[in-house]
Structure 1
Amino acid sequence: MDEIATKCAGLQLSEKEESEVDLMPPVTETGHVLVGRFCMKRRVSLESVARVVRSFWRTAKNFEVCDLGENKVLFQFEDENDLDRVLLLSPWAFDKYLVLLHKLNAGEAVNKVQFNQTSFWVQIHGLPTMSQTREAGIRIGSILGKVEKVDVDEKGFCLAGYVRIRVTIDISQPLCRGRMVRIGGASPKWVDFRYERLPIFCYWCGKVNHDERDYTQWLRSKESLRAEDKQFGAWLRASQDRL
């Protein structure tokens, strides 16, 4: 659309074309809308989507489903609490492939939605027990993206086997498998990230917006890349449980 507008900028407009149309602002009270994109190559069936998400989401009130094409779907909710709950419990998967969801704001166009972020619960393994704090979760998790929440007690500690954080990540980038941390003056040590409800992702490049069969280098190599070069597959086998 921007390209069309640019091309039209040099045109001489007629009186009809130049006249403005004044529209009323969107009615936000009824705009409880999510836009979803399915990270899979094959085309999804709207009937299958509607059936599966209704069984998963179990909303208190009804919602409508509309096919936007290109594996994008619009969900319009009667109750905003249902919409917020669906977002809160994300990420969701369809046939084990990630479903990206975006809450449509008033005045926002569907074709402008980027679909480049989603939230995950991530477990941080390998920290000493007394270092499993809210501050540690925020500082370590900041390498992944925006930390939304750290699952700790009222004193800011987590005395379980790991620290759990909820973080918004950029899905156009590879999954981060962990990071080196230094506690005081001690030698740095590796802490491992384990993603809860991890969907199908690419074992070659570590991105969750496609699977290994759609990896560009794999296709260009005519499927000649070595299986041992799947570093993210090795990481998953070594340290990541699908939860």
Structure 2
Amino acid sequence: MDDIANKCAGLRLSKREESEVDLTPPMAEMRYVLAGKFCTKRRVSLELMARVLKSVWRTKKNFEVCDMGEKKVLFQFKDEKDLDRVLLLSPWSFNKYLVVLHKLGEGEAVNKLKFCRASFWVQIHGLPTMSQTRGAGLRIGGILGVVEKVDVDEKGFRLGGYFCIRVSMDITQPLCRGRLVHIGRSLLTWVDFKYERLPIFCYWCGKVDHDERDCI
């Protein structure tokens, strides 16, 4: 091991190797790309998947699909508004399995992405009506992940049987079914979480990145 380390320490780049190549694209060449991963070990038909997603996404302009292998796909959009709308309306599923989407940034490589986060709208049931506030949504949502939005009115309240928060969650962790919360100094109550548009998930461990047939 020491011999290998000593040999590597003596390596030097040649003048041709150390010259840099500028790959910064001009603005006109910028592309709007979503990287996606299908949370299933089943075979995914690229042609069928593209046809289904084009029908449900209903983008104003067309987009191209590129298979990257290992259930990973690139979606190249012609209009950034189409891309942003698809992200905003997520989560999406194909054959009832979750499709994790990530907006590809400059310098990112698909094979380096972990695809471990997805955003869900979560209904919070069981809170007293007057406790359905923006602050309550932020505090409760903070145990689930990163709160992106709390569905309240301009005064910061939501009147109704429940209220919703949008949360970016780590999908490698089990779904949380609810939480005990303190109301005031003495009242302790249980609130239920109901996930909107929840895809197939594992009933054994509660994770959404596989089903029970693939659970270890």
TM-score (norm 2): 0.92
Aligned to 1:24: 23
Aligned to 1:208: 208
Q: Structure 2 unaligned runs (5+)?
A: none
Equivalent pairs counted in the alignment come to: 210
1:67 aligns with 2:67: yes
Q: Structure 1 unaligned runs (5+)?
A: 1-5, 217-243
Aligned to 2:153: 153
Cα deviation 1:105-154 (Å, max 9, x = unaligned): 11211111110000000000000011111111111110001111111111
Counterparts of 1:142 and 1:14, CA distance in 2? 48
Aligned residues with identical type, % of pairs: 68
For the 8 Å contact 1:43–1:70, the answer to whether it is kept is: no
Distance 1:11 1:214, change over 3 A: farther
Letter in 2 for 1:86: V
Counterparts of 2:68 and 2:37, CA distance in 1? 10
Matches within 5 A, 1:44-193: 44-193=44-193
Distance 1:143 1:14, change over 3 A: closer
SS at match of 2:100: strand
Counterparts of 2:122 and 2:61, CA distance in 1? 31
Greater CA deviation, 75-84 or 38-47?
38-47
For the 8 Å contact 1:119–1:166, the answer to whether it is kept is: yes
Counterparts of 1:14 and 1:124, CA distance in 2? 59
SS at match of 1:59: coil
Letter in 1 for 2:23: M
- More strand by proportion, 1 or 2? 2
Cα deviation 1:34-69 (Å, max 9, x = unaligned): 000000001211101110110010000011100000
Structure 1 segments (4+ residues) deviating >6 Å: none
Counterparts of 1:26 and 1:111, CA distance in 2? 21
Letter in 2 for 1:100: V
For the 8 Å contact 1:65–1:76, the answer to whether it is kept is: yes
**Pairwise CA distance, 1:16:** 6.8
Distance 1:103 1:135, change over 3 A: same
Counterparts of 1:91 and 1:11, CA distance in 2? 51
Letter in 2 for 1:192: D
**Pairwise CA distance, 1:20:** 2.7
Counterparts of 1:66 and 1:11, CA distance in 2? 42
Counterparts of 1:62 and 1:88, CA distance in 2? 18
